[in-house]
Amino acid sequence: MINRRNFVGLGAAASLGGLNLFADLQVPKPAPELVITLNSGELVLLSKLKGKVVVLEFLLTTCPHCQRCSAVMQKVLNDMGGEKAFTALGAAVNPDDLTQARMVIPEYIYKLGLKFPVGYTKREMAYQWLGADPNKGPVYFPQLVFIDRKGMIRAYHPGTDTKFFEDEENNVRKVVEGLVKEGTGAALRSQAKKG
């Protein structure tokens, strides 16, 4: 069984006797706006990625499960032909500020050989986006979100989803392939109508 790392706000887990609470992200639903700050200072807005299949990982840079998830995303991205197939994006929530993020995120990217953007988002923004309340119990990472070309969250797997993460690579690949095929089929139908 895979134990996922958690990040708890305000020591809530101790007071709740180890309650395993994770985000309450219902799918499908429109993906809310999210701002991720890259080390260059560039802001990545999730809304600007509409029209692409996006795999978004909320992560802790010190979490071995998050590191594995990021490496799997890179492998699937490489196997499927890179950014032409889908967009992978990492949002680290553990640095306290941009200065700290600028110190830890480059090492995370380098260590894992990542070619996709990994940046920083404020913990509170991530929790709000996920519908998580760290005051009610631990929030487990990684939090993996799959968004279709229309900007709809179509699949969500929190760090507690051991069934998904036990065969992580195949499961990530299946979800991405399904979302990519959906868009491809719609594009082909559109082209056929025009022709």
Is 187 inside any structural domain?
A: yes
Tell me the pLDDT tens digit for each residue of 142-186: 999 999 999 999 999 998 999 999 999 999 999 999 999 996 655
Buried residues in 133-149 as b, exposed as e (16+ CB within 10 A):
ebeebbbbbbbbbbbbb
CA angle 143–103–11, rounded 5-degree value: 50
Is 3 inside any structural domain?
A: no
User: What is the distance between the alpha carbons of residues 33 and 155, in angstroms, rounded to a whole number?
Assistant: 17
Chain position carrying tokens 């909320």: 58
Specify the pLDDT at position 4: 46
Number of domains in the chain: 1
Is 167 inside any structural domain?
A: yes
Tell me the pLDDT tens digit for each residue of 11-22: 333 222 233 334
Of 41, 46, 45, 2, the closest CA to residue 145 belongs to: 46
Chain position carrying tokens 């929030």: 139
Confidence category of residue 195, pLDDT binned at 50, 70, 90 = very low
Is 10 inside any structural domain?
A: no
Is 39 inside any structural domain?
A: yes
Tell me the pLDDT tens digit for each residue of 22-75: 456 778 999 999 999 999 999 999 999 999 999 999 999 999 999 999 999 999
Question: The domain containing residue 83 runs over which residues?
Answer: 22-194
The rounded Cα 171 to chain-centroid distance in angstroms is 14
Chain position carrying tokens 């640095």: 95
Is 8 inside any structural domain?
A: no
Tell me the pLDDT tens digit for each residue of 94-136: 877 778 888 999 999 999 999 999 999 999 999 999 988 888 8
Is 11 inside any structural domain?
A: no
Is 16 inside any structural domain?
A: no
pLDDT over threshold 70, residue 92: yes
CATH of the domain at 167: 3.40.30.10
